[in-house]
Amino acid sequence: MTYPKPLTISYHTLRAVNTDTLNFKEKMSLPFQSRIHSRSGRRLAFLISKTHMPAATINMITQMVVPPPKYFVDKLVPR
């Protein structure tokens, strides 16, 4: 069986959809979320993995504090 899976979008991807579907808080937090969970953010995580720091714990805490920008398709592109 299939199930709806949310999309992780970036700030620049949002230009392709109707931004009226997001509330004020979502619009304001998206640039910050996008920067943390972007390619450069993943690069920093890769550098952390090369140290003896607890990378999985740091990743978990980061995602708790700044969750990835995930939205269901029907929220971004209403019917």
- pLDDT tops 80 at residue 78: no
Angle of the 39-49 helix axis to the 55-65 helix axis, nearest 10 = 150
This prediction has a pTM of: 0.63
Task: Enumerate residues 6+ apart whose C-beta is below 8 A from 10.
Answer: 34, 38, 69
pLDDT (tens digit per residue) in 7-60: 887 777 777 766 677 888 888 888 888 888 777 777 888 888 888 888 888 888
